[in-house]
Amino acid sequence: MKQTLFAIALFNIFCFGASALPADKVIWEPNIKMEKHLFPSYIIAGATKKFKDLGAQYLGESKGLVGIDISSGYNHASYRLDIKANEIADETSFEFTLPEHKKDAVFYVFPNINYRFRELRKMDQPMPVNFTFVLYVNGKEDGQQTETVNIQSINDCPYFIVNDDKSEVDMRWMYSAYVNENHPMIDQILHEALATGLVDRFTDYSMVSETNKTELFKQTLAIWTALYNRKIVYSNTVTPSLIPGSNIYCQRIRFFDQAINAGQANCVDGSAVFASMFRRIGLAPFLVLIPQHCFVGFYTNAEQQEVYCLETTVIGLTNITEDMVDAKTLSYLVKLYPPDIATKNKAAIIAFAYALKLGLSEYDEASPKLTSGAADYLLIDIDKARKDNGVIPLSD
């Protein structure tokens, strides 16, 4: 435990003349995890996530972020903890008891906070919030304490923590929360994709076979072209809103509509946009994280036997020429369409071929490290991340 007044008080009690707390004495203090930085994205996305049991010393929610450390000398006492943070949560009350045979031990009490999720979703910039803690012992107030907590922007995605003891907490499943296949803007973009003439309808994998991927490429190319025509450009704006020296690693990620309306996206934004689109039409996308970069991939069939990848930062480039792409791939894509449709969309088709070339090259280079579990390399299968972690996609 960190060296707080609480820890020092316990040290003095047990080391200087007393073997246990007095029978009517309680020592407690607030405990806010993640260095007193609360991430709305993490709270919302992990609202239904199942966390492992942390042991008998923890009472309440194993996923809890806000609670107290407590040690008590009382026998047969009942406790109630009230926590207030009016800006982002309704008042939370949690009743508990402490095991009599361990009454002098330190316990960590984390209630299931009654967050106002809609208010958290609106947090588009960091702000401080006061949490007030009131403890009652046998119905009588034992004290009140207030802690100021930093509430981060909803766009800050925490994905890794290195604790002071060098232990690590891997939360890269959080990236899947920014893939939102239900965003209302997707219908408009799918309409624009149909208007390109590059696809007649979206059919997921139902018309795709191991030997015939025509419909797969028609669907993905049409979506690419619709976004290409919106002239979205690459922007390397990834600075998180954390203080220097924090042990929490996080990535700033725009939401679907923010990236589209701004007309610019960084590598993660763009990859999440494409993954959202692909997932909406029934394809199975994944994100590939490598040092300082992210790109998107998709499986070629429901059995996930083969993959293709796209370097999404290519979407805003206008100087891509035919000699920069694989001639065989470009010829295959062009021949999928009548000449007039191919000619009308030629620039987007060339860019798509180039994005495929770069994406597959990056994937092939990263594959050995992806399979070996090397640090800073991860393939995030959106379906699997959702199922394994109970991730709720962040939405409006």
What are the pLDDT digits (tens) for 39-87? 999 999 999 887 878 888 999 998 899 999 999 988 889 999 999 999 9
Dihedral, CA atoms, 182, 187, 188, 190, nearest 10 degrees?
A: 110
**b/e sequence 63-76, b meaning 16+ C-beta within 10 Å:** bbbbbbbbbbbbee
The whole-number average pLDDT for the span 18-32 is: 82
At 320, the amino acid letter reads I
pLDDT of residue 1: 43
Contacts of residue 388, defined as CB under 8 A and 6 or more positions apart, other chains included, come to 173
* Tokens describing residue 173: 């499943």
**Cα 105 to chain centroid, rounded:** 35
- Pair type for strands 168-170 and 156-162: antiparallel
The whole-number average pLDDT for the span 331-360 is: 97
At 48, the amino acid letter reads T
> In the Cβ-directed half-sphere of 333, how many Cα atoms lie within 13 Å?
30
Strand, helix or coil for residue 273: helix
Burial of 317 (0-12, 13-18, 19+ CB in 10 A): middle
* Closest residue by Cα to residue 58 from 11, 3, 105: 105
* Secondary structure letter of residue 236 according to DSSP: -
- Pair type for strands 307-310 and 293-299: antiparallel
* Tokens describing residue 271: 């990859």
What is the Cα–Cα distance from 77 to 72, expressed in whole angstroms? Answer: 9
CATH 2.60.40 in the chain: give the residue spans: 5-154
Contacts of residue 166, defined as CB under 8 A and 6 or more positions apart, other chains included, come to none
pLDDT of residue 84: 98
- Average pLDDT of the chain? 89
Question: φ, ψ for residue 305 (rounded to 5)?
Answer: -90, -25
Burial of 191 (0-12, 13-18, 19+ CB in 10 A): exposed
Judged by average pLDDT, the poorest of 6-15, 56-65, 184-193, 288-297 is: 6-15
What pTM did the predictor assign?
Answer: 0.88
Overall residue count recorded for the chain in this entry: 396
- Which strands sit side by side in the sheet containing 66-72, from one edge to the other? 26-32, 66-72, 107-110, 58-60
User: Is 90 exceeded by the pLDDT of residue 265?
Assistant: no
* Secondary structure letter of residue 373 according to DSSP: T
User: Is 90 exceeded by the pLDDT of residue 100?
Assistant: no
* Tokens describing residue 162: 């290195």
CATH architecture for segment(s) 5-154: Sandwich (2.60)
Category of 395 on φ-ψ map: left (φ > 0), alpha (ψ -120 to 50) or beta? beta
Contacts of residue 204, defined as CB under 8 A and 6 or more positions apart, other chains included, come to 281, 282, 283
User: Is 50 exceeded by the pLDDT of residue 17?
Assistant: no
At 125, the amino acid letter reads Q
